[in-house]
Amino acid sequence: MLRIHFTGDSITDAGRDRTDPASLGDGYVSLLAQAPELADARISNSGIAGNRAIDLVGRWEADVMSSQPDVLSIYVGINDVWRRFDSDDPTTDEEFEARLRHLLERVPAGVRVLLVEPFLLPVRAEQQGWLTELRGKQRVVADLAGRFGAQWVPLQQRLSEAAGEDAAAWAPDGVHPFPRASRLIADAWLDAYRRLPA
């Protein structure tokens, strides 16, 4: 059976029951579990709300590699931006790149990887500054996908175009998606998954 493992922050976590290994939350991962083309896959989720790349480094072996995935999806980055603005705890693009590269270097050969682009739909004026900060992290994700032969899952343009001038109707705080945004994330992920090498 194909094993697909998802890890990342709150967008992947999506309120899952962390005491139940089968819990997928109510976000894009649970939607993907219902996709006909993934019906025969065993899907697991180790997303944890609030996580940054450094948090994934700390739990990589126990929470991610222990699932022995055939396909691994990594979705992280927005908290590496957010903590600069709400906690004065910035993560530079160089630190983010080093940590994400550290993770990718520990993925066994043969595991197919998807790297999901973190997104932001600014709903407050000050979040425009967040978006400027996020662009560096987005470039890191795209660049590392190319360097490691991973499949990049672009979200920013797709969500921005869908939301138009009504960002809060898609993500009330600019970050956490409403169901229709989760559906769009799932669709983007599936598009990228279909491009993975066999």
Among 10, 44, 67, 182, the one annotated catalytic: 10
Q: What is the DSSP string of 47-89?
A: --TT--HHHHHHHIIIIIGGG--SEEEEE--HHHHHHHHHHS-
Report whether 24 contacts 43 (CB < 8 A).
yes
Helix (H, G, I), strand (E, B) or coil at 106: coil
Structure tokens at 166: 């009504």
13 annotated active-site: no
Active site residue 10: yes
Sheet containing 112-116, strands listed edge to edge, beginning at the edge strand earlier in sequence: 42-45, 3-8, 71-75, 112-116, 151-153
Residue 24 near residue 16, CB atoms below 8 Å:
yes
- Return the amino acid letter for 191: D
From 23, 102, 176, 187, active-site residue: 176
CA 67 to chain centre: 17
The active-site residue, picked from 26, 89, 166, 173, is: 173
Please name the residue ranges forming H helices in the chain.
10-13, 28-33, 53-59, 78-87, 93-104, 127-148, 156-163, 179-193
Is 176 known to be catalytic? yes
Q: Which residues are catalytic?
A: 10, 173, 176
